[in-house]
Amino acid sequence: MTNLLNSITANQNLKAENKTSFTFDSNGKVKPLQDKAKLLPPKVFGSPIECVKDLKTDVFNIKKALKGQANDYEIGRLNDLGLKAGSVGIASYLYVKNPLRLNKKMEFVGLTTFLGSMMLWPKVMIQAPLKARTGVDFRQEYIDSQGRKKYLYQDPQYVLTDLLPREELDKIGNKMDVDENLSDRDNFIKQRARKAALQANTLWMATAGFAAPVMSALSCNFVERILKTSSENAEFKKTEADAYKPVGENVEAKTKAFDKFLGELIKKEPNAVLSTDHIKTIGDKFGEIFTSSNSGYLTDFFKKDLQILADSSNEINEEFVKKVFGEYDEDGKLYKKVHKTIESPKYSAEKKIEKLVKTYSQSNKLKEELFGKNASEVKEHEMEKSIRNKILINATPTLKSIKTSLVNLYRSLAEYSEKKTNIDGFIFARMGQQNKPNSYIASKWECFGEKFVDALNFDSTFSTTELKKAKNGDEKFIKDKIKQLVKSDKLADSVNTFMKIIDDFNQVVKKCDVTTNGPLDIFKNAREVLVANKFNETAEHLISDKNVGTVYNVYKKGVEDSALSAKASFYRVIQYLGFEKSIEDGSLDKKIENLSQGNNIDKAKIKKACEEILFNSTTVNYIERFKNKPVNLTDKEVKVAMEVLFDTNDTKMLEECLSKDKEFTPEEKQRMLEDYKAHKTETRKYLGNYDNEMRTDFKTRTVADDLDKSIQHSMDGEKKNNLTGKKLTDFIKEAANKKYNSKKWLLFFSGIMAGLTTFTLTAGLFIGRKGKIEKQAEKESKMSIAA
């Protein structure tokens, strides 16, 4: 007491000295100055400016770290930066490697959701509940006196609880139920806040490892659904833009190179004529542009055209010989020697030339003409060489003379090639490709496929066990389900739902169809140029009404096949339902009888074959199914079965169902019916004209046999059809499988998430509670006050 009084007296004595601008309390005592560190206001996300500032600091820290001058804090920040930079690096790499826009986006969505989950998990699950319950913000940030951003409770040995404002401290104390009369209450509150923060940090560390990836996976799943449509549409537009992008620059560059190439050939031999070697070299140069546009097989035809040019324009006939050698053969004796050879179509131009060389080397007049005074000293081979040159100069076109037309032709075909490459990308992105099976149509097919399976009510009415059976491809189960549907009064509703889906899908397919207009005009344009330059062989194999195996036809056929196969998966369900319905109402038996035209046709065999085909065939192996397993049909039986399956007039079930629908307009109903019929017709056409000769070569497609391998992938129907035109069991199985897996993993991850959430929230309830030590300390403190 005395001491306190003394100090007050002392203070009073010194007041005059202390009356300056310094911090004093009302008693004149000096108080500690304000902290230089500052608490940051709580926020969910940092501002962009802060992010940039942080990044700047991190870059600065890297510099320091490289010089070995970074401290613990700076190296600690580098760890965070490393995590972010590494994640961005991996995402960027995958972004570049991934061909699809959606997948590209998802790489960064994954990164963002992961980092976001890491940030949000502690905030939502621990920080917010803890703060609400105890007032302690264990993720409270502050800026230290050096301007560095840190967490207040990051290091339990280095906590700046002094930064907490009075009201905050009181709030924590009140929420944590700290006795208001406790001696040294502030310290007690700080200790408990520090302990609570330590516990919260521990809980965070214990759960974040599981929670962040699971939360990220669930978020990705959600975001993917949203992004899918927009990405597909963006991809669609982009490929369209790519298809029509200008090609002039590339074409000119290539043409310039070709021009230079020809110029060098001519420079070596200014009077060189179009020789066999030239045909090969120049043909190969053109081959390069053909190959780059998946038209490589045109190279041989182009060389053929070059050969024709060399041969046809150099015809060595009587007229030619008289024109060149007439004045040296006044009596026609020498001509008589070569007459037979010249006029015979058996001999090649080269043979004819050699004959002329040998014959006219005997002409002294010619020798004098060629060598003048030295004629007598000229050796035989020198004479022959001179004569050969004279013939070639007069007969065969020189490279110089055809250079301009070759360069112009090259320019046109290079333009075709560039455009074709662009259009390839455009078409493949829509319709799919062997090496790049992900396409717009495949993606839509998958999406509509899921809707289709939903319409089969696997999801809502089937139990998980049934869904499991469907995903396992239990054929009997699937058939039974469909048969049940046929018998039920829900048939019309289901079929109309299917038809709506099919109709929507058909619109997508139409949107992707590029065979009827626009881009494929490049084939016609290239043909015109080729024909104008008399490169008819090449033109005929590029595009022609006469030739089936043209590049154009193969190309077009590939696109059509894809569309057909994609639609087939859906229409097959309608076909199967119609088929079952016709069995049920007995109309099928009558139809088979009519089709058998008195022949003894085994109805059961036909029915089994049709069922098998509808269930277990892809578009491309119909015929194998027909002719081989599981039933070996005769040609007559095949014809009957084909009629059963593809009779365009047999649309009874569909018409009945559509007639019961109240939402479709009559026009829509009509369109749906016509589309169905058209599909049947197309499929039948695809399989071949069974009235004449059954095609048995679907897999190899003779139409492509003579094509270059480089374009065969666009003909490899089976692989593509396996993507889009799946057999019914596979179609249902895979859609069900996807649904089952989505359901299962969603349940699994949701379960983990729910468990983690429950655990974290429950554990959070124990954070900040009074332990034995705290209770004892509080008790002792109260006792000392009472004493």
Q: Which is nearer to other proteins, 194 or 352 (CB)?
A: 194
Q: In whole angstroms, how far apart are CA 7 and each of 14, 17, 19, 25, 125?
A: 10, 15, 17, 14, 52
Q: Among 162, 315, 319, 521, which residue interacts with other proteins (rule: CB under 8 A)?
A: 162
Closest by CA position to 349, among listed 314, 303, 401, 323: 314
Q: Which is nearer to other proteins, 144 or 252 (CB)?
A: 144
Q: Which is nearer to other proteins, 64 or 627 (CB)?
A: 64
CB of 371 within 8 A of CB of 334? no
Amino acid identity, residue 475? E
Among all chains, which residue has been given the structure tokens 């990051």?
154
665, containing H or E segment: none
Distance, in Å, from the CA atom of 457 to the CA atom of 463, rounded to the nearest integer, reads 10
Least Cβ distance, residue 159 to other proteins (angstroms): 6
Distance, in Å, from the CA atom of 266 to the CA atom of 270, rounded to the nearest integer, reads 5
Q: Among 71, 92, 174, 183, which residue interacts with other proteins (rule: CB under 8 A)?
A: 183
Q: Among 90, 315, 773, 779, which residue interacts with other proteins (rule: CB under 8 A)?
A: 773
Dihedral sign for Cα 504, 508, 514, 515, please.
Answer: negative
Contact between 159 and other proteins by CB under 8 A: the answer reads yes
Site for other proteins in 556-585 (CB under 8 A): none
Contact between 10 and other proteins by CB under 8 A: the answer reads yes
Distance, in Å, from the CA atom of 606 to the CA atom of 626, rounded to the nearest integer, reads 10
Q: Which is nearer to other proteins, 133 or 185 (CB)?
A: 185
Q: Which is nearer to other proteins, 32 or 248 (CB)?
A: 32
Q: Among 114, 115, 185, 606, which residue interacts with other proteins (rule: CB under 8 A)?
A: 185
Helices (H), 141-292: 166-175, 185-243, 248-268, 276-292
143, containing H or E segment: strand 141-143
End-to-end C-alpha distance for the chain, whole angstroms: 18
Contact between 14 and other proteins by CB under 8 A: the answer reads yes
The whole-angstrom distance between residue 516's C-alpha and the CA centroid of its chain comes to: 24
Site for other proteins in 28-47 (CB under 8 A): 29-33, 35-37
Q: Which is nearer to other proteins, 136 or 577 (CB)?
A: 136
Q: Among 16, 20, 44, 663, which residue interacts with other proteins (rule: CB under 8 A)?
A: 20
Distance, in Å, from the CA atom of 595 to the CA atom of 576, rounded to the nearest integer, reads 19
Contact between 157 and other proteins by CB under 8 A: the answer reads yes
33 contacts: CB under 8 Å, gap ≥ 6: 23
Distance, in Å, from the CA atom of 149 to the CA atom of 170, rounded to the nearest integer, reads 25
Q: Which is nearer to other proteins, 189 or 338 (CB)?
A: 189
The residue ranges of DSSP E strands in 603-647, in sequence order, are: none
Least Cβ distance, residue 13 to other proteins (angstroms): 7
Q: Which is nearer to other proteins, 19 or 336 (CB)?
A: 19
Least Cβ distance, residue 202 to other proteins (angstroms): 19
Distance, in Å, from the CA atom of 235 to the CA atom of 100, rounded to the nearest integer, reads 8
Site for other proteins in 190-209 (CB under 8 A): 191
Number of H helices, E strands in the chain: 32, 3
Q: Which is nearer to other proteins, 33 or 44 (CB)?
A: 33
CB of 30 within 8 A of CB of 22? yes
Site for other proteins in 163-182 (CB under 8 A): none
Contact between 766 and other proteins by CB under 8 A: the answer reads no
Q: Among 48, 158, 663, 665, which residue interacts with other proteins (rule: CB under 8 A)?
A: 158
Contact code string over 422-451 relative to other proteins, x by CB under 8 A: ------------------------------
Q: Which is nearer to other proteins, 197 or 529 (CB)?
A: 197
Least Cβ distance, residue 201 to other proteins (angstroms): 16
Q: Which is nearer to other proteins, 27 or 648 (CB)?
A: 27
Q: Which is nearer to other proteins, 3 or 460 (CB)?
A: 3
Q: Among 144, 242, 259, 382, which residue interacts with other proteins (rule: CB under 8 A)?
A: 144
Least Cβ distance, residue 146 to other proteins (angstroms): 8
Stretch that binds other proteins, among 138-146, 354-362, 388-396, 670-678 (CB under 8 A): 138-146
Contact between 13 and other proteins by CB under 8 A: the answer reads yes
Contact between 6 and other proteins by CB under 8 A: the answer reads yes
Distance, in Å, from the CA atom of 309 to the CA atom of 176, rounded to the nearest integer, reads 100
Q: Among 50, 80, 177, 184, which residue interacts with other proteins (rule: CB under 8 A)?
A: 184
Contact between 784 and other proteins by CB under 8 A: the answer reads no
Least Cβ distance, residue 57 to other proteins (angstroms): 17
* Most distant CA pair in the chain, distance: 157
Contact between 4 and other proteins by CB under 8 A: the answer reads yes
Contact between 11 and other proteins by CB under 8 A: the answer reads yes
74, containing H or E segment: helix 72-97
Stretch that binds other proteins, among 11-19, 41-49, 610-618, 632-640 (CB under 8 A): 11-19
Contact between 23 and other proteins by CB under 8 A: the answer reads yes
Count other C-beta atoms under 10 Å from residue 660's C-beta: 11
Q: Among 54, 74, 141, 186, which residue interacts with other proteins (rule: CB under 8 A)?
A: 186
Tokens found for residue 93 = 């790499």
CB of 483 within 8 A of CB of 577? no
Q: In the 8-state DSSP scheme, what is residue 126?
A: I
Tokens found for residue 466 = 């049934």
Crossing angle between the packed helical segments 551-584 and 603-616, to the nearest 10 degrees: 130
For residue 397, count CB atoms less than 10 angstroms from its CB and return exposed for 0-12, middle for 13-18, buried for 19 or more. Answer: middle
Contact between 69 and other proteins by CB under 8 A: the answer reads yes
116 contacts: CB under 8 Å, gap ≥ 6: 216, 219
Distance, in Å, from the CA atom of 369 to the CA atom of 371, rounded to the nearest integer, reads 6
Residues that bind other proteins (rule: CB under 8 A) add up to a total of 40
Q: Which is nearer to other proteins, 71 or 464 (CB)?
A: 71
Q: Which residues bind other proteins (CB under 8 A)?
A: 1, 3-4, 6-7, 10-11, 13-14, 20, 22-23, 29-33, 35-37, 69, 142, 144-145, 157-160, 162, 183-188, 191, 773-774, 776-777
